Amino acid sequence: MLRQYELVERVKAYDPDADEDLLNRAYVFSMKAHGSQLRASGDPYFSHPIEVAGILTDLKLDDETIATGILHDTIEDTVATQEQIDRLFGKNVGRLVDGVTKLSKIEAQTDSERQAENLRKFLLAMSNDIRVLLVKLADRLHNMRTLHHIKSDAKRLRIARETMDIYAPLAERIGMYSFMDELQELAFRELEPEGHATITARLAKLREGGGDLVARIASGMKLVLAQKGIDAEVTGREKRPYSIWRKMQGRQMSFEALPDVMAFRIIVDDEAECYRALGVIHGRWPTVIGRFKDFISTPKRNGYKSIHTTVLHGENSRIEVQIRTRRMHEEAENGLAAHWAYKQGDEGSGAREAYPWLEDLLDVLHDAASPEELLENARLAMFQDQVFVFTPKGALHQLPKDSTPVDFAYAVHSDLGDSCVGAKVNGRVVPLRTRLTNGDQVEILRSKVKAPDPAWAGFVASAKARAAVRRHVRQKTREESLAMGSKLLESLGLRLKVNLDDNMVAPALARLKLPDRTALMLAMASNALTDAQVSEALVPGSTAGQKPARKRGKPGPAAISIHGLTAGVAFELGACHPIPGDRIVGIRHAGKPIVIHTIDCTSLAEEDGEWLEVSWGDETEGAAAQLAIVVHNQPGALAAMAAVLATHNANIVNFRLKHRDREFHTDIIDIEVEDLKHLTRIIAALRTLQAVVSVERVRG
Ligand code: MN
């Protein structure tokens, strides 16, 4: 526990003018008031408000806020009165302590009308003085850090649920990401112990393989920046288990497919330097399309500023990179608190301008017709990515946004999901793909057979429903593949005029390095083995004299003109496959054709040739782009992709299949496209296919 003088020294260190006497009096008052009360941990109760005050000093908050932290539980839990606090510590501290006390009471109440009343008062108070909320968040953070001392499972779960639903979103709303992260991690561990354990174990395993990979990548990045004259602080971290979990749920990913578990932060001096650093990073590592976000030119609504991008670092390992200035960093970590620290003394008037969402909450306050509506609106405003629906008996379920009756059924019970055939929403029968909205009452119509429809995978929103449907699809696919493989093998036997008994098949299996007949049939069904290969294995020499399948050739160069080059100068397109619409540069080496690269081509970092400013000409007919597509191994996947390419008039020039594992394979496809817009449309269309996991452009 922090001692009295330590606490005062911590405040003095960042605010020499702090009222030392105020802090000392608050410390002594709180210690006496809490007396011999004990926490669940067995520590004196008094340790709690002091730790809360300590957390607030980390945010460099003013003396009144620190005093409020020390006193925050005195009215609720001791014989101290509001009048005493007002008299002894002044009206400012009195008002702040009152605000925190009111909020604590909301937690303890169940009557919704009273809750809404209090919430209204609290929000009004908060909009004038955000410090009330900062103290409450610090209070909750310390309670969560010590949550494991509470013996009752039900109580721990309730507190964790409330933290996840109310306090972490509040911290996010005011931009206090470090608070939000820690609150979410602590609540996640309590709410999803298995998910937490799985992810933690998996992260530990990744770490085993990589040594101190994070530190190595960070220092590599710092070096690359330094070579371009940018002095930056680079830090790296493994992503937190909860943020990995969220991402897995949001994108319906399995852990194996989970791409970026590492994130790096580059901190530079000023805004211009941010963009220079971005250029260097994009020049050195390939960008992952669709992951670049510039929150400096367009800050988030809560004031957050940073540049976000994701790059491919090494083979198939994606890393997230955030670039920001020191000031942006402090505001991002501590949000409104940092804003407060910068503006100390100015009664928080800047908060409403800097944090426009406060205005939203105030609008809700003024427009709500009844306390229930107010409570509903204020809560729902925090959960825009969630939808709340009811069972016929009135039990509440929280689902991801865009959930359907199928998601609901699986959320209630996996048996209910598996046997779902229809649904009533608010008493009316609706299609199963209907998106649920807040407050819907959902009743599931069941059949006796359990037969989830594979088509559900195309519209469900929750990870649980998707996983269940996929499991069934896999099982069905396997059954169908076996039936098909068995037919293929049988007809091959007829053609070769051999009896396919074990004496015949066993040596072939050995030649093909397959464990059993089932594996052979599956390989034939999935086209992993051609008829010719199997014939050769069954009857060596049986395919002699047959022509090998012809390969597709490379096409001639498309007609392309480039502005910035003298007419007739020879040029060629680089291995990064630039296409019209890409930003490009020309690189000249004496005696060689000029090579055109995309501006973010990886090879440019080591390029020592002459850089020429060039742009696409008007007579450009198109060029070949290369895509890497990760696809589920399932029948019809390739046909569906080919159909999309055909409808978009994209000519396939080359096709390679790289096997990855039993569930997925990666296709490398070269296609001829008109320009970047054309390619973007094609990528978007491919991504909508159910069998497609991801589509990325390959550069170099
Ligand atoms: Mn407390």
Query: From the CA of 71, how far away is ligand 1's center (Å)?
Result: 9
Query: From the CA of 15, how far away is ligand 1's center (Å)?
Result: 25
Q: Are 529 and 659 in contact (CB under 8 A)?
A: no
Which residues have CB under 8 Å from 589's CB, separation 6+? Answer: 609, 610
Give the 3-state secondary structure of residue 627.
strand
Query: From the CA of 139, how far away is ligand 1's center (Å)?
Result: 5
Query: From the CA of 91, how far away is ligand 1's center (Å)?
Result: 21
Task: Check residue 555 and give its pLDDT.
Answer: 34
Task: Check residue 110 and give its pLDDT.
Answer: 41
Query: From the CA of 356, how far away is ligand 1's center (Å)?
Result: 29
Query: From the CA of 616, how far away is ligand 1's center (Å)?
Result: 64
- Name the phi and psi angles at 382, rounded to 5: -85, -10
Rounded Cα–Cα distance for residues 110 and 294 (Å): 43
Fold: same for 4-191 and 353-469: no
Nearest CA-CA partner of 207 in 152, 277, 262: 262
Residue 3: CB atoms within 10 A of its CB come to 10
Q: Which residues surround ligand 1, an ion (CB under 5 A)?
A: 73, 139
Query: From the CA of 45, how far away is ligand 1's center (Å)?
Result: 9
Task: Quickly list H helices, 371-501.
Answer: 371-380, 405-412, 414-418, 463-496
Q: Domain map of the chain by residue range? A: 4-191, 195-340, 353-469, 623-697
End-to-end CA distance of the chain: 57
Task: Check residue 256 and give its pLDDT.
Answer: 57
Q: What tokens does 252 get?
A: 């319906």
Query: From the CA of 193, how far away is ligand 1's center (Å)?
Result: 25
Query: From the CA of 20, how far away is ligand 1's center (Å)?
Result: 23
Q: Is 196 exposed, middle or buried (0-12, 13-18, 19+ CB in 10 A)?
A: middle
Q: Are 417 and 436 in contact (CB under 8 A)?
A: no
Nearest CA-CA partner of 533 in 510, 512, 503: 512
Rounded Cα–Cα distance for residues 404 and 213 (Å): 41
Query: From the CA of 51, how far away is ligand 1's center (Å)?
Result: 10
Rounded Cα–Cα distance for residues 399 and 395 (Å): 13
- Name the phi and psi angles at 9, rounded to 5: -65, -40
Which residues have CB under 8 Å from 241's CB, separation 6+? Answer: 185, 188, 189, 195, 196, 199, 200, 203
- The string over 390-412, giving b where at least 16 C-beta atoms fall within 10 Å of a residue's C-beta and e elsewhere, is beeeeeebebbeebbbbbbbbbb
Nearest CA-CA partner of 225 in 290, 217, 213, 597: 217
Provide the CATH topology of domain 623-697.
Answer: Alpha-Beta Plaits (3.30.70)
Read off the pLDDT of residues 547-590 as tens digits, 9 standing for 90 and up: 443 333 333 344 566 777 665 667 788 888 888 888 888 888 87
Q: What tokens does 571 get?
A: 């040029």
Task: Check residue 661 and give its pLDDT.
Answer: 61
Provide the CATH topology of domain 4-191.
Answer: Hypothetical protein af1432 (1.10.3210)
Q: Which amino acid is at 675?
A: D
The CATH homologous superfamily to which domain 195-340 belongs is Beta Polymerase, domain 2 (3.30.460.10)
Residue 423: CB atoms within 10 A of its CB come to 21
The alpha carbon dihedral of 563, 565, 566, 571 has a sign of negative
Residue 615: CB atoms within 10 A of its CB come to 12
Query: From the CA of 33, how far away is ligand 1's center (Å)?
Result: 14
Query: From the CA of 137, how far away is ligand 1's center (Å)?
Result: 10
Rounded Cα–Cα distance for residues 284 and 266 (Å): 15
Q: Are 697 and 289 in contact (CB under 8 A)?
A: yes
Query: From the CA of 179, how far away is ligand 1's center (Å)?
Result: 16
Query: From the CA of 241, how far away is ligand 1's center (Å)?
Result: 27
CATH of 353-469, one of 3.40.50.1100, 3.40.50.10090, 3.30.70.20, 3.10.20.30: 3.10.20.30
Nearest CA-CA partner of 414 in 424, 422, 402, 406: 406
- Segments in the chain below pLDDT 70: 102-103, 105-129, 173-175, 209-211, 250-260, 301-302, 315-316, 335-386, 394-396, 438-439, 527, 544-561, 565-569, 619-621, 657-662, 700
Which DSSP symbol is given to 551?
P
For all residues of the chain together, what is the average pLDDT?
80
Active site residues: 76-77
Query: From the CA of 21, how far away is ligand 1's center (Å)?
Result: 23
Q: Are 699 and 286 in contact (CB under 8 A)?
A: yes
Q: Which amino acid is at 368?
A: A
Task: Check residue 94 and give its pLDDT.
Answer: 93
